[in-house]
Amino acid sequence: MILVCGEALVDLFAGAGEGGEIPARIVAGGSPFNVAIGLARLGVETAFLGGVSRDGFGNLLAGLLSREGVDGRYLVRTERLTTISVVATDPDGHPSYAFHGEGAADRSLCLADLPPVLPDAIRALTFGSYTMAVEPVGSAFAALAERERGRRVISVDPNLRPTALGNMSGWHRAAERFYRAATIIKASDEDIRIAWDGRLTMAEAASYWLELGARLVVVTQGGQGATAYSAAGTVSVSGHRVTVADTVGAGDTFHAALLARLERTGRLSPEAIAALDLEALAELLAYAVAAASITVTRRGADLPRAAEVEAALVR
């Protein structure tokens, strides 16, 4: 089982308004929420740990997790409201986000809400996005990552959302708590540009993360594919040529597929990940790229199932 830790929220997709009205569509979302559903759809036992409201949106989120087969025993239900993320996409399908969530349910989880002991069945934990850096949830999740490091795989996706953080000045300090505990760090080239304001290349960021202790660093590059860095060396896999509807959920799909492939091939342990050779890394990237290439052909974060990914690999 993989325990996904982070936010569950609703995305409000706003259309072009006229006459004083703006048409909108509400969709369940949040990067970790998407990863949990993606893992379940790829056939991996998955549980979700995060603060979820008892309001209507929170009930929607909890219900969707349940229907997708995600274990809800670690949900922390609260009377606080659900974060709303307003999403707009540019002509190329790239999204931008505006978050309305100060004091909301996903940010309110604290140390006392953490499970004191995790069962042996949980082989990996994932952390990502703004719940790594806002309080009190950021410190609670950092404590959990530090507690479980070395005993289970810790996978981190910074998935930077500056509009959710408000101020980027504390990001590096907050994120480094997770990086030092990480077995895997998965990031996009955009995450690296934002985090270091263009001062570090992909290779330099990967080297920094490997020096902190990560066994595997993977950087996604949109339609160009992805590159993996480890003690074995560096390997890249090209992207698939597809018609892009939008890129919402593409990174989450990649993260879920990466972990699902490791689990399904018996390599979801710190030792096995450290031992991956370049051929195994290339195969791992190819699977995750194929999964992400399916999501971008669909509107919103509609993550694929295992049979769809296998078919994409054949094609």
Question: Domains (ranges, CATH) in the chain?
Answer: 2-14+25-305 (3.40.1190.20)
Decide if 293 contacts 249 (C-beta within 8 A). no
Q: Distance between CA 29 and CA 40 in Å, rounded?
A: 15
CA distances, 151 to each of 180, 213, 311 (Å): 14, 14, 35
pLDDT digits (tens, 9 = 90+) for 67-116: 999 999 999 999 999 999 887 766 666 777 788 999 999 999 999 999 99
Q: Distance between CA 157 and CA 178 in Å, rounded?
A: 10
Nearest to 106 by CA among 28, 222, 43: 28
Residues belonging to the chain: 315
pLDDT digits (tens, 9 = 90+) for 204-218: 999 999 999 999 999
Nearest to 30 by CA among 128, 166, 144, 163: 128
Least confident of 18-27, 74-83, 113-122, 127-136: 18-27
| pLDDT grade for 275, boundaries at 50, 70 and 90 | very high
Its pTM stands at 0.94
pLDDT at 59 over 80: yes
Average pLDDT over the chain, rounded to whole? Answer: 93
Q: What is the mean pLDDT of residues 180-208?
A: 96
